[in-house]
Amino acid sequence: MPSPSPTHAVRTHALAKSFGAVAAVDGLHLAVPAGSVFGFLGPNGAGKTTTIRLLLGLVRPDDGRIELAGHDLHRERAQALSGVGAIVEAPALYPNLTGRENLRVGTHLLQRPAAVVDELLALVALRDAADRPVRGYSLGMRQRLALARALVGQPRLLILDEPTNGLDPAGITQMRALIRELPARFGTTVLLSSHLLSEIEQTADHCALVDAGRLVYQGPLDRLLQRATPRIRVETDDPGTTLAWFRERGFEAVADGDSVHALADLDAGERAALTAALVHARVGVSGLSVDRPGLEALFLQMTRASEVPA
């Protein structure tokens, strides 16, 4: 009987790598669920790129173990890497060849049928530019072509390191849509490394947050976001009195123009009671809403980045 498919596309066990006295990766236990878009988050210098190089076998770990689709990278290197595609740093393309020819090189090397080329050109919206030399492509077009080439071998795991760097808003939107489509369309697990928190929030369903080479959080993205304490936003004609009212009752609150923001996780009934209490205290309230902080605010709370002076 065939062995069952692994539940994780990537697993690392106490992975460690140092450069001199600097621990770039420090005891990392990573678990990337198969079929997910997995955001790999961290500030610059957190160890993301070093981890990716370790996963691709480009550098050797000092300690620990890596499994890709259930295969140990050290003992079963060929099997582990056979189902992996990657775009790391600037896409390496042949500028004097056309987009179509760049993909044909990939199909020839990987012994894939020629029909794959047209399918991938359509996927990345490059059919109209397929027969133009790549040297005339925009950065966004090059990134999309690089993604198509990484998909030629139908990888089980696709590793993308900052894939939207340098793209304009339209290019970022196109790349996000392509990445979100890959698990359902090809069964590909995507490990997406980025320091752009909005990128992960709008693309991934699972994530890991690293800082100084260590794991800060790992799990579903929505569970991470639930850790953020919501803020009550009160629109008022007397922000000074409103701010004092909240602080007298132990709320952490700040004034911002005609609004007061107070940290509080209140359900609908509690918000109604709060509104009534403000009205009873003769505090002028013209509106009350709830803002749940996004990933960026939570990121700053959970990493050393929050300690950097503004």
Residue 68 lies in a domain: yes
Interior angle at CA 47, CA 77 and CA 35, nearest 5: 55
- Report how far residue 235's alpha carbon sits from residue 261's, in angstroms, rounded to the nearest whole number: 9
Domain count, the chain: 2
**Where does a domain end: 173, 196, 219?**
219
57 found inside a domain: yes
Same domain, 238 and 211: no
Query: Beta strand pairing status for 8-19 and 84-87?
Result: unpaired
On whether residue 51 sits in a domain, the answer given is: yes
Please answer whether residues 138 and 170 qualify as being in contact, where contact means their C-beta atoms are separated by less than 8 angstroms. no
Does residue 153 sit in the same domain as residue 261? no
The answer to whether residue 3 sits within a structural domain is no
AA identity, residue 14 = A
| Tokens linked to 280 | 């009873």
Residues 235, 201, single domain; the answer is no
Phi, psi of 261 (to 5 degrees): -110, 130
Establish if 259 belongs to a structural domain: yes
In this structure, the answer to whether residues 41 and 176 fall within a common structural domain is yes
Count Cβ atoms within 10 A of the Cβ of residue 143 and give its class: 0-12 exposed, 13-18 middle, 19 or more buried: buried
Q: Rounded distance, CA 97 to CA 114, Å? A: 17
Phi, psi for 120 (deg, rounded to 5): -75, -35
Determine contact, residues 192/160, Cβ cutoff 8 Å: yes
Domain of 185, CATH number, reads 3.40.50.300
Same structural domain, 21 and 168: yes
Amino acid at 114: A
Asked if the structure places residue 89 within a domain, the reply is yes
Q: Quick one: 84 and 118 in the same domain?
A: yes
Tokens of 286: 């013209």
pLDDT of amino acid 9: 96
Query: If you search the block for the tokens 């697990």, which residue do you land on?
Result: 189
Where among 160, 192, 219 does a domain terminate?
A: 219
Do 158 and 85 lie in one domain? The reply is yes
C-alpha distances (whole Å) from 235 to each of 55, 114, 259, 284, 292 are 50, 61, 4, 8, 16
126 phi and psi angles, rounded to 5 deg: -125, 15
What is the distance of C-alpha 260 from the center of its chain? 32
In the prediction, which pLDDT does 1 show? 40
Domain end (from 172, 196, 219): 219
Is the domain of 215 the same as that of 274?
Answer: no
Q: Would you say residue 180 lies in a domain?
A: yes
Verify that 117 and 242 share a domain, yes or no: no
Residues 110 and 243 in one domain: no
Q: Is 42 a domain residue? A: yes
pLDDT at 220: 94
Domain check: are 40 and 168 in the same one? yes
The pLDDT assigned to 293 comes to: 67
Same domain, 97 and 204: yes
- Which residue segment(s) compose the domain that 14 sits in? 8-219
Q: Name residues of the chain where pLDDT drops below 70.
A: 1-5, 228-229, 292-296, 301, 303-310
Closest CA to 48 of 28, 73, 33: 28
Residue 140: strand, helix, or coil: helix
CA dist., res. 200 & res. 114, Å (int) = 34
